[in-house]
Amino acid sequence: MVVGILAIAGAAHAQEYLDTLPTLTVQIVEGSQYVYVEDGYAVMAGEVENTGMSPVADVRIQASFFDATGALLEVAEGGTALDVIPAGSKSPFAVRTNGTIDGVTDASARFATGFKASADKAGLLAIYSTDVDHGESFRAAGEVRSGGAPERDVRAHAALHDGFGRVLRVHTFELGDMLPNSRAQFEVDGLADTRGASLVLYAESESSYAPGRALVEVPAPGPSGHTSSARITDVSVDGAGPDGTVQEGTIATITADVEHTGGPATGYNVYVQISESERGAAGTLKYIVYVDGETGRLGSDGSVSVEWVADRTGLFNVETFIWDPSGIPLGNQGPLLFFPVG
């Protein structure tokens, strides 16, 4: 049972790691990290990408968990969901504290020392989604199909992503051995996270993997079913010069104005996502550089602000979202804002 969710933004940055062979390179995907508390354990989830030319194995992630004062509470280590990550592919990971823990407010992730080249697995498995339901608790069904050879120790992995690209949950399903040309079903149930926007399914065995991942778009609950509603009426940036440019190395303050449009007073979270636009083309996103959120309470109109250190030049866009504390949207996405950093 999930007892708490920590939307820890910017805590774990992309890190690239090269082994002794120049063809072996892996990196933690920037913006993919997310920390939550489940059954008293803190868990950091994220995604690793093999950017090299050869498959890699034994990729280990070290996660450090901190309290509000910055004091280190625990260091834990775990592996990626896929035992072998093919060249050019990704694998989710989830590193869990060794025991129950209180007071975690921040975390960081890095590669533990060492990983190794691996022999290619045969692409003889296939994975499909067969059913999706987003009721009170999200549920999806999947199926792994084998090829013309028997398979040992077949596993399916499911990674739930939110709209920011963060990995919210990682589940592994042990499907056992499979006969040639057979099928094995599994069900992803009880994730109970309304922030989920997509589910990515993977499959592997001792000797094979599924070359294609199954991507499931998760239908989000709409704001119409909530007794309270709100909208973000305006988004602005403070810290820009007369020409609208934010100077590199300075602090940009992003402010979202919130209007209470109906229903009783309730708490809310406004999430701010800043993305760098590719080649300066507005609307062509390159990657997320910042995600953070601020809380407030409906009952009257108000505003929330977050601060971002403009640590790189380029054209950036700001997206804003307003949800209740359970992750249910109270209104539609706020107006888009673009600004340059020079």
The position carrying tokens 């929330």 is 304
Class (C level, CATH) for 223-341: mainly beta
Nearest-angstrom CA–CA distance, 182 and 173:
17
- Burial category of 191 from C-beta neighbours within 10 Å (exposed 0-12, middle 13-18, buried 19 and up): buried
Amino acid letter for position 29: V
**Is a pLDDT exceeding 80 seen at residue 12?**
no
Tokens of 340: 């340059």
SS3 51: coil
**Is a pLDDT exceeding 70 seen at residue 8?**
no
Q: Which of 267, 224, 254, 228 is nearest to 336 (CA)?
A: 254
Same CATH fold, 126-217 and 2-113? yes
**Is a pLDDT exceeding 70 seen at residue 192?**
no
The arrangement of secondary structure in 2-113, i.e. its CATH architecture, is Sandwich (2.60)
Nearest-angstrom CA–CA distance, 114 and 88:
19
From residue 21, give the alpha-carbon distance in Å to each of 26, 73, 84, 115, 340.
12, 35, 17, 11, 39
**Is a pLDDT exceeding 80 seen at residue 201?**
yes
Quote the pTM value.
0.68
Q: Which of 60, 11, 5, 6 is nearest to 31 (CA)?
A: 11
Give 209's strand partners. 204
Are 304 and 318 within 8 A, CB to CB?
no
Render pLDDT for 272-309 as a digit per residue (tens, 0 to 9): 888 776 544 443 334 555 666 667 777 667 888 888 88
Nearest-angstrom CA–CA distance, 285 and 278:
6
Query: Contacts from 23-26 at CB under 8 Å and sequence distance 24+?
Result: 23/52, 23/53, 23/54, 23/117, 24/52, 24/54, 24/56, 24/115, 24/116, 24/117, 25/50, 25/51, 25/52, 26/50, 26/51, 26/52, 26/56, 26/59, 26/85, 26/111, 26/115
Render pLDDT for 208-259 as a digit per residue (tens, 0 to 9): 999 988 888 776 555 545 566 888 899 999 888 888 899 998 988 999 998 8
- Asked if CATH classification 2.60.40.10 holds for the domain at 126-217, the reply, yes or no, is yes
Looking at residue 72, its pLDDT comes to: 92
Q: Which of 233, 272, 239, 267 is nearest to 253 (CA)?
A: 239
DSSP secondary structure string, 289-315? EEEEEEEEE-SS-EEEEEEEE--S-EE
Each domain of the chain, given as residue ranges in start order, spans 2-113, 126-217, 223-341
Tokens of 68: 């509000």
Residue-averaged pLDDT of the chain: 81
Distance between start and end Cα atoms, the chain: 46
- 144 φ, ψ (degrees, to nearest 5): -105, 135
Looking at residue 98, its pLDDT comes to: 93
Nearest-angstrom CA–CA distance, 5 and 263:
25
Full strand arrangement of the beta sheet holding 183-189: 126-134, 138-145, 183-189
Looking at residue 135, its pLDDT comes to: 58
Tokens of 13: 């940055």
Q: Percent of the chain, pLDDT > 70?
A: 80
The predicted model gives 331-336 an average pLDDT of 84
- 206 φ, ψ (degrees, to nearest 5): -60, -35
